Structure 1
Amino acid sequence: MLRIHLTSEDVGRIRIAAGPVPAWEMLLSLHALRGPADHGVFGPWRAKALGTLDPSARLLLPLAPPRGYSPDFLTPADSDIESAMDTVQRTARDRLRTDLTILAGQRGTATWMRSLADADTGALRRVGTAMRRYHQRVLAPAWDRIHTVVAAERAARAADLLDGGVERMLNSLHPQIRWEAPVLSVAYPVRRELHLGGRGLLLVPSYFCWARPITLRDTRLDPVLVYPANRGLQRLVEPADKSDGDCVARLLGATRAAVLEEIAAAGGITGADIVRRLRISPASASEHATVLRQAGLVVSHRTANTVLHMPTPLGRAVLDGDARTLRSPCAHRPRPTEADHRVP
């Protein structure tokens, strides 16, 4: 059991990662690569990923054993792979020696790790390069879908926070996580006590986190709790039958249908998210979101300079093909507002 002790100051400093954290998805996907070939969710992705691995991945595999300890330095919380790679390459010698000594005690280490433990710049550079190539070849092709799953989880927890406060949000994170103030208890293979001491807690929903939540071993590092985000068991490989999606595309147009599908899949995304995921211009994203809003398929809320688009029940019904709930969009068309003419 992992027991995380929060002060009132810590509760006020709980954050949810804005998107998938590349280093954590890398580590946990490396675990998945060594998992069963017939895994219901990871199996199809695993079969494809094994064929695209760069030879440099051999450096990462011994650092990411499927069971037991993986070095803390390998999973910085940076939001993009280049920043994560830079953070890893700048890891201090004391940190490297501590982490690799623990790893060696668990299963031994490869000869090249001795130079890594000495903070040899060449060894660190090779690890950083391996991280980049792994992300480019294995994770990047599926990154938009990973991001969609994580964004949907983040939106759901934000809704829990708004509707039921911190207590509901923390108790809804995962079946193996329980909040009884002031302690957050997590089912864990070893007994550990983590006192935050006012540092707060970063919650990291992860696509590849599967069996149970995970945290860093060193309690002196910035506190992180990584937990499974893929509650809908969404695969990274699209099913062959896409006839329903084709019908929606014929109704709305391919791009507008894709915009609606992204908004619904995430439970709520910004205009910038639409631009990034669909690779369309900001003006096009704004136009499609406006039409969908005027048709009653999405609603939009502005906070400062950001507009969050969320699906309406009618919008979800269109995607689901639920004829019982479908009605004329024009009957639900809201009056135009000033926000209708702004770029998301």
Structure 2
Amino acid sequence: MLRIHFTDADLARTRVAAVPDPLWEICASLHRFQSRQGRWAYADWFRTARTRLNAAGFAPTLRTLLLPLVPRAAYFPDFLTPPEATEGLDAGLEAILATPKRRILDEVGILARTSGAPAWAPSLAESDMRKELVQAMRAYHDTVIAPHSDHIQARIEAERSARARAMLNGGIDGVLQSLGPDLRWQRPILHTVYPEDRDLHLNGRGLLLVPSYFCWGNPVTFGDTTLDPILIYSLSHEPHHSALPGDLGSGASLKALLGRTRAAVLRAAATGATTGELARATGVSASSASQHATALRDAGLITSHRHAASVLHTLTPLGAALLRANTPGSP
């Protein structure tokens, strides 16, 4: 069990990340190769990822370099997920290259004692080996994560919309109470199942909540409690079927392209809306709004996820681009 202790100052400084952390997504996706838990939620990704990795001749590097360093266990080295990665993949990889040798050896030692480290792991303290690791992480990201970036970002935006609604309805308590079944909020402590028994005292530093597409099951945080606190937590995954459309074009008006009501539904989803809110915004019945939302979701223009008793609809990057292209005065 992990217990995260909040003060009033911590509650005021708690926030939700705007974008997925690319290095945490790399590590969490590596865990997906090491477990069948939740495989159904990533079935399409897993199939295409294996195909792309084999086609690129990357499978041996995956087996011998990346997977041994990021075991699906109680611990993997913190230097692989530096906070600089919130500024993007390049910044995160540069931070790995700049990690002090002493810290790398310390964390590799922890890995050896807790999960077992590969024999070559101490050589990561040398810059040449670290450059090889960073090159492998970049190639892995480009091969199996970047092709899905639009879909992943759409899920993150939907999650942020759901947390924003929780904030409006219940303040920060509402946010912490709504993070899913794996997290339980009993003020002033957030409880979650964890591979080890730990207490994390925020001590006024606040907490960055980072929704992760590839995280499955219990949330993850740094092993080093002196680092700025973050909590990587899983999105809720539901069975769904969606297909990306062909080129919709940017010159046609939305009404001509989608129809008046469906175009209105798309606009209403721009700030996140439940099915009932779509119905009220467009003047149709709830069942009709649901049908229009289904059509837009099947076209890859919106994404829909259950939030408490409601279904929340938000735009995908494709849907947002279509709206922007058909806004008067847009470039």
Classify the secondary structure of the residue corresponding to 2:211.
strand
Deviation at 1:31, TM superposition (A): 0.7
Residue type at the aligned position of 2:121: M
Q: In the alignment, is residue 108 of structure 1 matched against residue 116 of structure 2?
A: yes
Deviates more, 1:219-228 or 1:69-78: 69-78
Partners of 1:127 and 1:34 in 2: CA distance: 19
Deviation at 1:182, TM superposition (A): 1.5
Deviates more, 1:174-183 or 1:8-17: 174-183
Number of aligned positions between the proteins: 280
Corresponding residue for residue 43 of structure 1: 43
- Once the two structures are superposed, residues 87-125 of structure 1 have per-residue CA deviations (whole angstroms, 9 ceiling, x without a partner) of 111112232122101111124322321211xx2110111
- Of 189, 210, 214 in structure 2, the residue corresponding to residue 204 of structure 1 is 210
Residue type at the aligned position of 2:107: D
Q: Given that residues 171 and 179 in structure 1 are in contact (C-alpha distance below 8 angstroms), is that contact kept between their aligned partners in structure 2?
A: yes
- Of 228, 248, 259 in structure 2, the residue corresponding to residue 255 of structure 1 is 248
Corresponding residue for residue 292 of structure 2: 318
Partners of 1:191 and 1:37 in 2: CA distance: 22
Aligned CA distance change for structure 1 residues 133 and 288 (closer, same or farther; 3 Å): farther
* Correspondence list, 1:1-344, <5 A: 1-36=1-36, 39-53=39-53, 54=58, 55-57=60-62, 58-77=64-83, 78-79=85-86, 80-116=88-124, 119-233=125-239, 255=248, 284=250, 295-299=263-267, 309-310=271-272, 312-313=278-279, 314=282, 317-320=291-294, 341=328, 343=330
Partners of 2:23 and 2:179 in 1: CA distance: 21
Deviation at 1:196, TM superposition (A): 0.7
Aligned CA distance change for structure 1 residues 286 and 74 (closer, same or farther; 3 Å): farther
Deviation at 1:341, TM superposition (A): 4.1
Partners of 1:321 and 1:52 in 2: CA distance: 30
Partners of 1:288 and 1:201 in 2: CA distance: 41
Classify the secondary structure of the residue corresponding to 2:264.
coil
Q: Given that residues 205 and 229 in structure 2 are in contact (C-alpha distance below 8 angstroms), is that contact kept between their aligned partners in structure 1?
A: yes
Partners of 1:288 and 1:129 in 2: CA distance: 43
How high is the sequence identity, in percent, across the aligned residues? 38
Classify the secondary structure of the residue corresponding to 1:213.
coil
TM-score scaled by structure 1? 0.72
Q: Given that residues 56 and 133 in structure 1 are in contact (C-alpha distance below 8 angstroms), is that contact kept between their aligned partners in structure 2?
A: no
Deviation at 1:36, TM superposition (A): 2.5
Cα RMSD for the two superposed structures: 3.2
Q: Given that residues 6 and 189 in structure 2 are in contact (C-alpha distance below 8 angstroms), is that contact kept between their aligned partners in structure 1?
A: yes
Partners of 1:193 and 1:37 in 2: CA distance: 26
Partners of 1:285 and 1:146 in 2: CA distance: 27
Deviation at 1:285, TM superposition (A): 9.7
Residue type at the aligned position of 2:123: S
Classify the secondary structure of the residue corresponding to 1:194.
strand
Deviation at 1:42, TM superposition (A): 2.2
Any unmatched runs of 5+ in structure 2?
283-288, 297-326
Classify the secondary structure of the residue corresponding to 1:18.
coil
Deviation at 1:286, TM superposition (A): 12
Which structure has more RCO (C-alpha within 8 Å, separation ≥ 6)?
2
Partners of 2:291 and 2:38 in 1: CA distance: 33
Partners of 2:102 and 2:3 in 1: CA distance: 27
Deviation at 1:166, TM superposition (A): 0.9
Classify the secondary structure of the residue corresponding to 1:184.
strand
Aligned CA distance change for structure 1 residues 59 and 220 (closer, same or farther; 3 Å): same
- Once the two structures are superposed, residues 248-291 of structure 1 have per-residue CA deviations (whole angstroms, 9 ceiling, x without a partner) of x9xxxx527xxxxxxxxxxxxxxxxxxxxxxxxxxx599759x9
Corresponding residue for residue 325 of structure 1: none
Partners of 2:295 and 2:328 in 1: CA distance: 30
